[in-house]
Structure 1
């Protein structure tokens, strides 16, 4: 079972990447909030997951809120009210329990709730999480750990490394390298404490520790991979997103209208696709009872927060590449009869819409051609309560589809995000031992 989560990835983030890459879009609409008129643009499914048999919307709201389709499409500002964060939404997807913003694997009463990774381990399955941002950040953390605050990075890192026997743990957050992959004069132990880092490097945690780009590439092709791996690329916050370049001013302010890849990509770090490929190789050899893997494209979110179309597209395309790598692995090493792949998001970030969209004009479609920035507009630097896409293929996909018991006038059938975890628990059983 493989979950791929694009942090901050809404329908328009997917289409922005497709417009830049292929000149095509799949989910573009024009909606007039005053009359309720809905016009769907002709679309082309250009991403492999857009052809999955299950294609749904998913609601992402936090504890005590809700999603109301009529309000979401009748008032342009409605989706900006009380938006969720990645900790709450990832916890919902990982545990089936809706909670408060900032919570990692806890219910609203701050009690720990079992997640899919823990259930997989109970069943003897291999397990792992991979991300393009810090490994102790909210989304990967919620699939493993339990903490009252997502900001307790070092506590979360210790728990992830020491307490849960993950077979694979990969993500950024290296204390000895900066955002450009350059060695620091003084280490920054913000995302992992020094003792845990030193233990990981020495092998005391039980993992094989890797950090160089070539090590990740070798892992993907290894005939006899290590049994457990902790991969910490030589970079600080993200694989690529926070690198410096001509699309950023000296103080880090984004240059408006900058094209993707204006800044040369770092060559000292692996891609998310390479990390996913290495993780699959390890997990496939770690257990004969299957696996659970979560792969996060984590910096799509940062592109939305900064309203940086160019770098957001970079991250979307990197996430797409990771998905393609997973699909290729399923078709080469497994099959669609034994592996479920789910592609979705934790929430939408940036309220990305077409040019001229707004309270008076409603929702307009993104426009663009291959190789150029799509015409667009941003409407927040934060998150929204908008529906996000969900795509699924493989055994169990029909169970997810079964939970889509609501209908949105624009996006069609949708499910609550807690139902994603519930559908997996239904498939695996909920007891402490394997189901008969």
Structure 2
């Protein structure tokens, strides 16, 4: 999958309660309110969590969540519907990095701040301004005897998951990042117990002839890890340590996701079930990676789909935490992306439900339309169910697709959706506003108020003292 950033920048419950035969997760993932209404919440007076689940909606700023609220709204009722996050809003984070030239963060610097408590330059992976490695919360929790996990829909070597388990002067060094992620601690146990996401090509590294020259997966398998490559395999897997790689690079956006790939919710549930077998506790980072990529693409369809997938994963994490009593769940963004405007022009309207008439994301459809041999007319008919598309709008897609211009094709599709949703976009990159922080469970009070994003890691470190 091509990373859309190139457009703008060339620019659980204790172990005894858990059962693999009877999972604690409900099958119903629909209404967000059902989590708080149907789950019996344990009476907890604990101040220090045994487990931490950090959920990062990459690029999921306040306006993105505002748009999602409109999208999920029950229009038969007065006022806007509540989201599953709402009751746990405790504060906000400042997202600025410590870059010598740029004053809006990238995901490397933002992730480093969240994972290590240190501000750094854009593009850094858990190194400080002097390129010196700085310890992550995942490394600290592993050293304390706890289990650790990383879940993402990007490549596992992408910036946000990478900052928790590697140190690199440049986020571009994904081959080396993969090597670090499978390293052993003091020659005994591997750093990360559960890794689920995309990126086969980085863990099975090939030479110029296409032959695998370094198989990092085999190194993990030799240490007792299972290896899964599909949703069905993940569901059946009973091991406590696993690497799941579900795509050569990034996984598909949720709306475009093939049945073979697990949803973010599925990976989150699997990770929690495996990690919670450790009586000492666990640290799990879950990233909804492609909210950000939809922002870079100005793809409203993709953005609503990706936030919804993150929302479902969040509900699963919260259901576990409410029954467990020992788990802190933190949900936040590392930054916002795309400058999404909830309403545009001179009209006081916003109708994101139009995205439900799209059968694929704009980005996903644009890739299909520009493939060699694509049946352009059929792809448009099958995937754009908006009734009033004009001949001119359709021609713009067809012409761009015939020219094999994926970006132009994507923006022609975006234009159709945005016009009817009355959505606006101000950027193709990250934006610098503060982001919401949601927290539930022991220690959640530490996250109250407007804080630097570095405090996220500092608070998590403090739970080990």
TM-score (norm 2): 0.68
Q: Which of residues 221, 228, 238 is equivalent to 2:241?
A: 228
1:62 aligns with 2:91: no
Q: Which SS does the other structure have where 2:182 is aligned?
A: helix
Higher Cα Rg: structure 1 or 2?
Answer: 2
Alignment check: 8 A CA contact 1:208 1:226 kept: yes
Contact 2:321 2:441 in 1 (8 A): no
Q: What is the deviation of 1:356?
A: 3.2
| Residue in 2 that maps onto 1:15 | 66
Structure 2: stretches of 5+ with no match in the other structure: 1-51, 185-189, 356-416
- 2:317 corresponding residue in structure 1: 326
Q: Distance in 1 between matches of 2:83 and 2:179?
A: 37
State the distance in 2 between where 1:210 and 1:237 align. 15
1:228 Cα deviation from its structure 2 partner? 1.1
**TM-score of the superposition, structure 1-length normalised?**
0.72
Confirm or deny: 8 A CA contact 1:272 1:319 kept in the other structure: yes
Alpha-carbon distance between aligned partners in 2 of 1:47 and 1:135, rounded to the nearest angstrom:
28
How many Å apart are 1:23 and its aligned residue?
4.8
Distance 2:348 2:206 in 1: 46
Q: Is the 8 A contact 2:136 2:164 kept in 1?
A: yes
Choose between structure 1 and 2: higher helix proportion.
2
Match of 2:330 in 1: 342
- Aligned-partner Cα distance in 1 for 2:81–2:248: 35
Q: What is the aligned partner in structure 1 of residue 422 from structure 2?
A: 375
Aligned equivalents of 1:239, 1:391: Cα separation in 2: 26
8 Å Cα contact 2:116-2:137 kept in structure 1: yes
Matched, 1:166 2:192: yes
Q: Secondary structure at the match of 1:156?
A: helix
Q: Sort the Cα spacing of 1:195 and 1:371 in 2 relative to 1 into closer, same or farther, 3 A.
A: same
- 1:393–1:188 Cα change, 3 Å: farther
Cα shift at 1:46: 2.3
Alignment of 1:392 with 2:439, yes or no, is yes
**Structure 1 gap ranges (5+):** 25-41, 67-80, 177-185, 220-224, 242-259, 405-413, 430-436
In the superposition, relative to structure 1, how do residues 345 and 43 fare at CA in structure 2: closer, same or farther (>3 Å)?
farther
Alpha carbons 1:12, 1:366 under 8 Å: kept: no
Which residue number in structure 1 is paired with residue 293 of structure 2? Answer: 302
Deviations 1:290-330 (A, max 9, x none): 11000000011110001011111111111111101111222
Aligned partners of 1:58 and 1:415 also within 8 Å = yes
Q: What is the DSSP-based 3-state SS (H/G/I as helix, E as strand, rest coil) of the residue aligned with 2:65?
A: helix
Shift, 1:194, TM fit = 4.4
Q: Is the 8 A contact 1:22 1:370 kept in 2?
A: no
Q: CA deviation at 1:238?
A: 2.8
